[in-house]
Structure 1
C-alpha cells in the first residue's frame, strides 16, 4: 500500500464514517451514499463478491476499489471484515420520512443492537430511527451491525425526548401499556423502545401519548432490543 493511499484515508477518516465489509459498501452505494474511498485486501476477490451478490454495482465497485493487501487493510482498519473490504463515506443524517412509522430508541447502550434495529427498520421501509441519549447511531460498530443500511432510512440522534418531532404521536412500549393487538397505530407514529434492563426513561414515558405492551409468554422476562 502506498503512502499516498494511507495518507488520503487518514485525512478522510475525520469527516467520514467507516463502511466495514462488502455488504456495508453494497448497501451504501445502492442507497446513494457519497463513498469517498474504498479499499480491498484482494481486489479480484471483492469484485467476485460484487458479481455474485451485487451485479448492479459491479462497474461502480470496480471504479472505486483500490487493492491494499491484507497488511495494508489491517493498518487502515483495526478489525478488518472477513470480506476484506472497507470504505469511507460521508454521513447523511436526515429527518424521518413523512407518512411512515419511526422507531425511537430511548437511551440505547449496545451498539450492535442499535445497528440491528436500523437494519430491520430499513428493510421494513420505516420512516427512520431516532436515538435519544449519548450513543452515536453513526458509530462504526453500529454501521457494521446495520450492514450500511443507514443510507436506506433516516438515522439521527436527539439529546432528549423534548427534541423529538412534535408533529407525530408517540407510542411507548411498556409492560403496563395497552396490548398492541388492541390498537391501531397511525402510520406516522413514533414507537419508543427502552433498554432491556431499564425500560423507558421517565422523560420518554411522560412524553408518550399512549403506552403499549407487547404480548409475552409467562416466565419470559424481557425482549432484547436496545439494551
Structure 2
C-alpha cells in the first residue's frame, strides 16, 4: 500500500481502476481518481494491477498534426496582420512546412516572422536587468561622456527623423512597441541595433514626463558633413550668429531655433557655452541642429576661420541703453549705468585699463547695419559680452545694437534680443538683395 501510494503521489503511475486491498476479513476500496485529480499534466503511462504497462503518448509530436498545423497557420496570419504586412498562401505554406511540429519551434517562428515583416530588420528584446538603458542615460546627462564616446542621445520621433534625413549615423534604437519603430524611416536603420524595451523601463531613464516611446544613440554629427534640407539652405541669408559664453541650455536651444527660422548661414558657439548636444538644448531647438550648421566649442581664433573675410561683426546690447541724443553721441553712457564699463569715462584722467577698452559705437537695431556679410554676437545674461567679441566688432567696424525699451525695464532676455535682431537683419539683407536685382534689371 505504501509503495502504491508513493507512486500515485509522485505522478509516475496512475491506476485505471479501483484497487482492492484485503486487511484481515475487511475489504477496503481506494478510489485512485481522487489522487489523479491532483496531477497538473497528462498521464504518460498506465500500470495495470497485473503488471501490464500501457504508454499513452508514444512520441513527442502532437497527436493531431492537422490541428497543430491549423494553429500555426492562424499564428502566421495574426502576426502578419499585426506588423501591417500582406500575407500570401506561399508565405504561410513556407512558414508551416519548414517546421518540426513542436511548441518551441512554433513560438520561435512567430518571433522570426515579426522581424522579417519589418523590411528585413531584426530586433531583440531587452531582458530583465539590462543595463544598456543606463548607458543611454549616461550619454544624455554627461558632457564628458558624450565627448569621450563621441555619441549623442536623441529622443522622440521628429528629432530622430530629422537626424536621419540629414545623414546622421544611428547606432542603437530603443523602442517600446512596433508601432513606434514603424514611424521611423526603416530603410535608414539597417546599420543600427534595434532593442525593444518595456515602456516602464523607458520612463525610468527618459528626461520627459511622458516619453514618446523611442530613444536613439547617434554618432556625434559633424556639421561639415551633414546634408541639410535644400529648401532651408536656399532661403538662407549671409547672416552669421555667434553665441558668446552662454550658459543657459534653454536660451541656447531657443536661439538655435530662431536662427534656423531667420535663415542664418551658420551658428558658432564659443567654449564657454553650454554643450549644444545636451538633451534640454535639443528639445528647445526643435531640430535646428539638422537644419543649419552648428559649430560648438570654438576658440575665437577658430571663429574667425568660420567667417568670411569681408564680414562685419556686430554685438547685441541686451540692456536698456537708449542714449538721450543718438545723433550727437557716438558711444553714449547708458542712463541706468548697466554697461558703463564699455563706455567712455567722464573723468579727464583715464586709467590704463580704460585705454584698452574697445570703442564700439551704439546704434538702434532698426537702422541699417546688415550689409553684405553680417555677423551678430549674443552674450550670456550672467557674464555678458567678452572682450574678444568687442575687439572683433571694433576691428570690423561693427556696431553695438540695442533695442529701445520702456522706462523701468532693465534688460531683455538673450533669446528675445537675438530673435528681434536676427529677423531685423534678415529683413535688411533681403531688402538689399531686392534692390540689387532691380538695379541689374534696369541695366539690362
Q: TM-score interval w.r.t. the shorter chain? A: 0.7 to 0.9
The more displaced of 86-95 and 113-122 is 86-95
The more displaced of 159-168 and 82-91 is 159-168
CA distance in 2, matches of 1:151, 1:20: 14
Alpha-carbon shift at residue 182 of structure 1 (Å) = 1.4
Describe the superposition over 1:25-48 as per-residue Cα deviations: whole angstroms up to 9, x where unpaired: 12222322222222223332564x
Q: Could you tell me which residue of structure 2 aligns to residue 218 of structure 1? A: 406
CA distance in 2, matches of 1:119, 1:199: 21
Q: Could you tell me which residue of structure 1 aligns to residue 126 of structure 2? A: 2
Relative distance call for 1:61 and 1:137 in structure 2 (3 A) is same
Supply the RMSD in Å over aligned alpha carbons: 3.4
Q: Contact between 1:28 and 1:149, CA under 8 Å: does it hold in 2?
A: no
Q: Could you tell me which residue of structure 1 aligns to residue 176 of structure 2? A: 41
Q: Could you tell me which residue of structure 2 aligns to residue 148 of structure 1? A: 287
The more displaced of 142-151 and 110-119 is 142-151
Q: Of residues 194, 198, 210 in structure 2, which corresponds to 1:69?
A: 198
Q: Contact between 1:179 and 1:215, CA under 8 Å: does it hold in 2?
A: yes
Relative distance call for 1:198 and 1:8 in structure 2 (3 A) is closer
TM-score normalised to structure 1 length: 0.77
Find the structure with the greater CA-based Rg.
2
Q: Could you tell me which residue of structure 1 aligns to residue 315 of structure 2? A: 172
Alpha-carbon shift at residue 61 of structure 1 (Å) = 7.7
SS in 2 for 1:186: coil
Q: Of residues 219, 231, 252 in structure 2, which corresponds to 1:90?
A: 219
CA distance in 1, matches of 2:188, 2:200: 21
Aligned positions of 1:85-124 closer than 5 A: 85-94=214-223, 100-124=238-262
Aligned positions of 1:122-133 closer than 5 A: 122-133=260-271
SS in 2 for 1:145: helix
Q: Contact between 1:196 and 1:226, CA under 8 Å: does it hold in 2?
A: no
CA distance in 1, matches of 2:253, 2:294: 10
CA distance in 1, matches of 2:188, 2:179: 11
CA distance in 2, matches of 1:157, 1:186: 26
Indicate whether 1:22 and 2:157 are aligned: yes
Aligned length: 218
Alpha-carbon shift at residue 124 of structure 1 (Å) = 3.0
Q: Contact between 2:126 and 2:196, CA under 8 Å: does it hold in 1?
A: no
Tell me which protein shows more strand as a share of its residues.
1
SS in 1 for 2:246: coil
CA distance in 2, matches of 1:60, 1:69: 24
Structure 1 stretches of 5 or more lacking a match? 51-56
TM-score normalised to structure 2 length: 0.43
